Structure 1
Amino acid sequence: MTNSPIAYSCYFTRNRQGEQFVPEHVFSYQISGTLTISDGITEHVFNEGDFRFIRRNQLLKFVKQPPPGGVFKSVSIYLDQAALSDFSMDYGYKAEGNRGRPVEKVKPLEGFGLYQSFMNSLLPYVAADQLINADLQKLKQREAIMILLQTNPELKDVLFDFSEPGKIDLEAFMNKNFHFNVQLKRFAYLTGRSLATFKRDFSQVFNATPSRWLLQRRLQEAHYLIKEKGRAPSDVYLEIGFEDLSHFSFAFKKMYGLPPSRIY
């Protein structure tokens, strides 16, 4: 492995940036501070000492909040498809009966002692910022999989479901998820399309390019939130998919003739 599946997050200030697409399953522990995760409908709040499992192929927003006078810290282990496929072949696990049954995107986990012991075993590696060898990484991944299966047997049908997203209704999906700041290839993948097919279908459905439609749709939502809901531009731009306040203000003024601060 070129990249370690073990990740350590440490922030001294509030953070709302980062990839909003989750490509692999994640098993995490909140060491300090608060992590808020939202899929646009449901919001989960994780505090110090909490454990969580996040299902792959999800669009999620994260807000990392340090405790007063402290530091936000969390440790995660990513359970990628290659590691799970190897585990499946070695131990004979297969997904069964998961079709048609809703699966939690973000699953809070009860504080089993096994979780705490496992996460504590990761800290010497991440705290020292040293890269552990590939064989040891695989062992830690397998240990995480075994612990999750022992404490939550129903996760078998999630962990070993290797199917990819199928082709779904493009218009409904985009109207629901336009505010997520991800690359077009992520939207294409989640709607069961290649990037080229996504762009072609998008043009047929919306009569516009994805980039142009996303910009206009996000600005329309921003206008609504500012004018009708009384929200501040500085609180809105990240929420509706912009990375930079100045870029948002420039695009908003170009579309509406006034900067967002002048909308009442």
Structure 2
Amino acid sequence: MPDLPPRLPIFYSCYHTRSREGEQFIPEHVLSYQLAGTLTTYDGTREQVFRPGDLRLTKRNHLLKFNKQPPENGEFKTLSIALDQDTLRHFSLEHGHQAAPHASSPETAITELEMTPLFQSYFNSLQPYEQLAEPGNEALITLKVREALLLLLKTRPELRDVLFDFAAPGEIDLEAFMSRNFHFNVQLRRFAYLTGRSLATFKRDFEKIFHLSPSRWLQQRRLQEAHFLIKEKGKAPSEAYLEVGFEDLSHFSFAFKKMYGVAPSRL
């Protein structure tokens, strides 16, 4: 998962495997510095690639697919700061920051940031991560998180409309959202939340628009996309089933054959 915050708000991600793919729901804003390796992300609208030295802000309440690629004979490494809602609320009250009324919500999940000398100095100060994470340094960690917020607002003042928007997602165009995000493998309650609806309202609105239940429509739409990827793009079924949101290859193959009359491997 890309930079999902653990217990500590400042965390270091490092692993040795050849590559790693997946997807996740982003619950909190995360500021991340790419130290080594390459991260490729897709939020349903835009693909982005981050390389060593790149800085990014991943925004909360977004769905994201990712691929982590370590360098040859090396490790994938990121250093990240989680900006949770409690921290942001306290900072907002203390400094008087608030989002502009009716500020439009960001469409893309990740904002690319310039690595300024101030940011570079800040991340250099976090490099002795093992010492920083030791018990007894909680106050220091709190100060470093607040320092990250001050730097973000100094370099990109318009980000206050993102960071200090504490509202739940408002009701949005359900048809457009689902057509863009059907391939994310998340529960219906997550889709409902992200479209600004209760689960019951989501299901009711969904059937009015698509004339199918959400689960049935999702399976059909994912199978249609998989058929396109395999037949027209030359993808292997073992790649396509994950890309379109299926969890299990055997279930995907069974559903595909039932819908198209042929196994995906024989297309």
Which residue number in structure 2 is paired with residue 29 of structure 1?
33
Take 2:155 and 2:212, find their aligned partners in 1: how far apart are those partners?
A: 48
Answering whether residue 11 of structure 2 is matched by residue 17 of structure 1, we say no
2:67 aligned to which of 34, 53, 63 = 63
Aligned to 2:126, what secondary structure does the other structure show?
helix
Take 1:127 and 1:74, find their aligned partners in 2: how far apart are those partners?
A: 17
2:112 aligned to which of 105, 108, 113 = 108
Closer/same/farther in 2, CA of residues 26 and 188 from structure 1, 3 Å limit: same
Answering whether residue 190 of structure 2 is matched by residue 186 of structure 1, we say yes
User: Structure 2: which 5+ runs fail to align?
Assistant: none
1:42 aligned to which of 42, 46, 67 = 46
Closer/same/farther in 2, CA of residues 196 and 132 from structure 1, 3 Å limit: farther
Closer/same/farther in 2, CA of residues 56 and 208 from structure 1, 3 Å limit: same
Please report how far the alpha carbon of residue 112 of structure 1 lies from its aligned counterpart in structure 2 after TM superposition.
Answer: 1.4
- Asked if the contact 2:64/2:109 (under 8 Å) is kept, the reply is no
Take 1:136 and 1:199, find their aligned partners in 2: how far apart are those partners?
A: 46
User: Which range moves more in the overlay, 236-245 or 149-158?
Assistant: 236-245
Please report how far the alpha carbon of residue 247 of structure 1 lies from its aligned counterpart in structure 2 after TM superposition.
Answer: 3.4
Take 1:126 and 1:203, find their aligned partners in 2: how far apart are those partners?
A: 52
Answering whether residue 85 of structure 2 is matched by residue 81 of structure 1, we say yes
1:207 aligned to which of 196, 200, 211 = 211
Q: TM-score, normalised by structure 1?
A: 0.88
Q: What per-residue deviation string (whole Å, max 9, x for no partner) do you get for residues 6-63 of structure 1?
A: 23222322111241x2121110011100001112332111101111112222222111
- Asked if the contact 2:170/2:196 (under 8 Å) is kept, the reply is yes
The residue correspondences of 1:81-230 to structure 2 (distance < 5 A) are: 81-96=85-100, 99-100=103-104, 105-125=109-129, 130=134, 134-230=138-234
Which residue number in structure 2 is paired with residue 53 of structure 1?
57
Aligned to 1:154, what secondary structure does the other structure show?
helix
Q: What per-residue deviation string (whole Å, max 9, x for no partner) do you get for residues 49-80 of structure 1?
A: 11111222222211111111111111211111
Take 2:99 and 2:53, find their aligned partners in 1: how far apart are those partners?
A: 30
Take 2:160 and 2:66, find their aligned partners in 1: how far apart are those partners?
A: 26
Q: What per-residue deviation string (whole Å, max 9, x for no partner) do you get for residues 205-263 of structure 1?
A: 33333222212210111012212333222332222112343332233223323221101
User: Structure 1: which 5+ runs fail to align?
Assistant: none
Please report how far the alpha carbon of residue 194 of structure 1 lies from its aligned counterpart in structure 2 after TM superposition.
Answer: 1.6
Q: TM-score, normalised by structure 2?
A: 0.87
Which residue number in structure 2 is paired with residue 251 of structure 1?
255
Take 1:245 and 1:258, find their aligned partners in 2: how far apart are those partners?
A: 15
C-alpha RMSD over aligned residues: 2.5
Which residue number in structure 1 is paired with residue 243 of structure 2?
239
Take 1:101 and 1:246, find their aligned partners in 2: how far apart are those partners?
A: 39
User: Which range moves more in the overlay, 197-206 or 27-36?
Assistant: 197-206
Task: Read off the aligned partner of 2:65 and give its amino acid letter.
Answer: K
Closer/same/farther in 2, CA of residues 211 and 151 from structure 1, 3 Å limit: same
- Asked if the contact 2:58/2:110 (under 8 Å) is kept, the reply is yes
Closer/same/farther in 2, CA of residues 142 and 227 from structure 1, 3 Å limit: same
Take 2:108 and 2:221, find their aligned partners in 1: how far apart are those partners?
A: 28
- Asked if the contact 2:237/2:264 (under 8 Å) is kept, the reply is yes
- Asked if the contact 1:253/1:259 (under 8 Å) is kept, the reply is yes
Aligned length: 262
Aligned to 1:16, what secondary structure does the other structure show?
strand
Q: Structure 1 runs of 4+ off > 4 angstroms?
A: 100-104, 126-134
Q: Identity rate of aligned residues, in percent?
A: 61
Q: What per-residue deviation string (whole Å, max 9, x for no partner) do you get for residues 90-117 of structure 1?
A: 1111122662486653221111122223
